[in-house]
Structure 1
Amino acid sequence: MQEIKIELTKTPKQKPQDQSKLGFGKIFTDHMYIMPYNKEHGWHDPKIVPYQPITLEPSAMVFHYGQEMFEGLKAYKTEDGRVLLFRPDKNIARANHSNDRLCIPEIPADDFLNALKTLVKVDKDWIPTQPGTSLYIRPFVIATDPFLGVRPSDTYLFIIILSPSGAYYESGLDPVKIWIEDDYVRAVRGGIGEAKTGGNYVASLAAQVKAHDEGYSQVLWLDGVERKYIEEVGAMNIFFKINGKVVTPMLNGSILPGVTRASCIDLCKHWGMEVEERRISVDELVEAAKSGALEECWGSGTAAVISPVGALRYEDTVMEIGGGGIGPVSQKLYDTVTGLQTGKVEDTFGWTVEVDG
């Protein structure tokens, strides 16, 4: 594990006074982590420096071919003052899976975790404490070769920035309305859908704009081949409770393997619920809604944690779920996951990692 050099800012910024107005991803802390890569030295010379602009050549390959990876996780402060990360090993493993798919060199897991813990420790006073808030952590890698040929870059930057944030959706835990997209597609099996990279998100914007114009919070994607099987929401994985069973689309190469998704599956099984990871068609979903078998629906993701879904729209059919309210499983998952993250619920799973000091 490499030693991190730390340069503290001489001009600290004023921290937000009103935590109820943090929003999501708008405010950034005093420091950032940065580590370069080249073929001669590999990943080397990690530093924590004051938060600042980065300088790149206009020909840097990230601008032209989109070779980049990003991750998202959070740090939380407990009532007794400890700082916790939630399943960072899962994010690190997923980051390196994305790196592998995108031809980016693997980041040693020990260096990755040390970077997360050290940066959060340096800026721990930025962690908000109001219920529903957290310190969002954004690690990312960009290709930096000044070259216009199409190939993997030989040089990269691994950067981590921090953002004190409130709820991802302004409505908080209020159920959201989701638009099932039947025109555009996000990803196909064999593509980069299971990697966490910007290309997947820019592919979603046109449908997202359309959904927002119709009064819907997010887009639920169908598979890119048959256009009939449920995949995931733009910023979340998706779950349904149908006839007492928890059903979620199986990982098939075009769906992001969410950390919160895995936690929901583990918790539901721990509670004795039957969980099915399988293909589910939109026709099955519509029929379940018509018959009353669709009892509950929620999204899961690092940013939103658990987001109850009160209505789904597919073509001209609007499916109201659970009377448009928060279902009992959604509520229990939200309470348990956030309780584990903030230390209010005993962690019997070994999911939390304490940031020392």
Structure 2
Amino acid sequence: MTRPRILISGNFHWQAGFSQTVAAYVRAADEAGCDIRISGPLSRLDDEVPRHLPVEHDVSWCTHLVFMFEARQFLSPEQIELACSIPRDRRLIIDFDGHWGIADGVQVESRKYSAESWQVLYSTLSDLILQPKVAGPLPPGAEFFKCFGLPPARHPLNPDRKIDYDLQYIGSNWDRWQPLAEVMAAAKRAEPPLRSLRVCGRWWDGDTCPGFEEITFSEPGRLRGLGVEIHPPVPFGNVIEEMGRALISPILVSALVGGTGLLTARLFETLASGSLPVVPPEAEFMASVYGDAVEYLRLGSDSATALTRMTVDFERHARIVGDIQDKLREAYGYPRLLEDLLAFFR
């Protein structure tokens, strides 16, 4: 039997979490019995991505073609025509942001493109549309796929873990300004107050993403007034290690994620880092992944009190996080994810 060769088409930026996820696919490919490369002709790549991910320039190399879409439509008519040279039953779409039947009517990052334009694009490319939606029914024509996995995890009580911050968030400001401002303010109200605070990522310093100004809005002066250090994005491959430098790392949920129950890479990266993954009230759906123990990690209606509890009784909460890591290690491992992905082609 021919070893499957998966070619991934996507909009890659080396500082984006999306690229980190695909890097995890590449690392797990051999264990899952397949090969994975990034399509040069069918992707948008910055100058840094080819340094970290294998790029294939011949579309005919693949046995399977996987399109990954987040906020942007990145394929030209010529690229679509080239993609369609691969048999249709060997092409599928991973719809991370729920453009197929979920995001309609929701104020989300997809507003730059109409729902109809997404439907036309997806229908042209494939009959297989996969979504990481864990809450509520899937839209007609979509199938469930986890999409994201648990990277190698470090226990919060690991003696080698150096903690430099009480609380930090690592990630871009993509419709996350309000939840970040709220959790940082709550950190200052905790007893005792959390003093060393940091945020790393794009669009926290007052700059915005062209075409997406509303959802990349921030008030850096307000953050600095709370004592929050504002830093650039963390280099490729270092996100989980950098997260582990904090006692607590909040999982910030955008309007899209909170309203639709779509999984994100951050749910698993934060868990793997060894930092306590603090969960906002909007993320009810996370109980289906983390299990009932997620209740101990929720901010609830009084965020300051919850942060106080987690810092004062850190060891207890650290053991809870370690138990969740153990529970997810096999079911959400990346080799298992790739096996599940290949099963859609059979």
TM-score band, normalised by shorter chain: 0.3 to 0.5
Q: TM-score, normalised by structure 1?
A: 0.33
Higher relative helix content: 2
Higher relative strand content: 1
Q: TM-score, normalised by structure 2?
A: 0.34
